[in-house]
Structure 1
Amino acid sequence: MFVMSDRSMILVLSCPDRPGIVSAVSSRLFEAGCNILDAQQFDDTETGQFFMRVVFDRGEQAKSEPEIRASIAELADHLAMRFTLRQSSAKKRVMLLVSKFDHCLADLLYRWRIGELPMEVTAIVSNHGREYLSSTDLAELPFYHLPVTKQTKMEQETRIWELVQETHTDVVVLARYMQILSDGFSAKLSGRCINIHHSFLPGFKGAKPYHQAHERGVKLIGATAHYVTSDLDEGPIIEQDVERISHRDTPGDLVRKGRDIERRVLARAVRHHLEDRVVLNGRKTVVFSA
């Protein structure tokens, strides 16, 4: 592992594949006085798209951040390239949504407090009262109880969107938030809303997936973290994991074991997103390894 300084930056890009992209990007950074610390790339031969993540350090004599950004933007115009560029020390602002089950929320907050997840928590939003989250330490965190019914769904989502804007939230995490987002709200949060589904998608969608799995006599259960889209449980997958079970396990056993899988899968997915390791590739993702 390398140690990133306060002057390090992360560049993530995607564009139609062609010869010379790596050379062009490296040359721009060299000319700007930067030193590449880590670089990963992927050429998707099926779609003809190229993806790259570069971590680099700006030396003492390097050009300024605006100058580097302008240089990359010029290259992006030439290569039809989409890119993001930010300081690696800049923490993304995260809003956490939860319902009655708080095991994922508690895990994320624990990892945040010990410094494992580099983020700023902007708010905790729940459609249930704080009493349902009594086992989770919410001290000093803004908490919003926003109940929802079929009749008030649009008003409730409007208020959440207002909070996203007011708090300058970068990413929304559904930490077992058991509500289906409307198509319009999903569109507003496209590419920056992560959900944990307590099943190994694309199997066993919807409600009570562990009970569905038990009825089918599966030997593996899992969890899936994905970006939210208007298609229920169909968004681009970021992270998954599984655990072996047997015929002796009851639905309750599956739920218990599933909680552990959900926690670690969601934490990994959130970390990947916070570190700019995930790039959308149509209905799929490219996830650069840590």
Structure 2
Amino acid sequence: MFGLEKKEVKAPEKRLADLQRKKDWAGVSRTYYELGVTAMDAGDLYKAQLWLHRADTIYSADDNVYDEVGEKIMDDCSDRIGRLEDEDGLFYNAVPAEIEARAAMLSDPQVRVWGLLSIARLVRLGERLARLPGSEVLGRLDWAVDLMFHSLQTLPSQEAYQRLMDMCDALYELNGKSVYYSGEIEVPDRAPFQLFDLNGLFGVEQELNGYIDSHLRLLAALSQGAEELPEAESGIVGCALLPDYYVRSGADRLEDVPQIKAELQRIWSDYEFVCGRFNWEEVRKRIADYKRLDILV
């Protein structure tokens, strides 16, 4: 008797590598959705947050992928993400809420400096990620931090302004590139860091885009002598926490991860710093120290 052999069904984690290699982004998105549903139904809300947001990011970035994934999956994915956003104690919600609450008590310049200090801590990671073809824009963070710092005191040249605008646009376009979904770098004695790990907390590259865009609008308003200035955004303050990396590499409680504990201490220390009567030289020194920091260590 000859029986039909059953085709082996690969686990979702094993399917991802094949789908990424084939650049089947609709398949990747559906697989992330599947992983997210499994995690959420099992009560693992961190993993659910990780995978469902990855699925959403992919199908939201490309109309063809959007159509191929289908409304049923996307509607359920959006519904689940909405439910996760209502989880008060979830790290992904609690930390941004605390940052926003504290930012509301600051002046506009204080919020901008608070955010700039966080961006400075991404410089070294950005330089390493910039070696991945297609993500070179992340290697310009060092220059951008310096320009934005100095332009809070003196308006930049038109050439520098345009260069910053080009960088802002490139950051916005980053998460629509295949490298964003598949690129990774080695981390000594740890799991590789995936470019997609930037996706947590609303997308680091999107928060960078938002911060820089707000800064550009501020400079434009100042150059025109406008009385009403654009409001500073605080979302960038948590950008160096990188929770997706630690969730993906096995952390059960983000609050217990040494790197996250250290980054939270820096965030709240920076808050106390900007609340005080700081001067620009003190800010410059703090930025210089942060730009040398390897936040994954």
Please give the TM-score of this superposition, normalised by the length of structure 2: 0.30
Please give the TM-score of this superposition, normalised by the length of structure 1: 0.31
Structure with greater strand percent: 1
* Bigger relative contact order, structure 1 or 2 (CA pairs below 8 A, ≥6 apart): 2
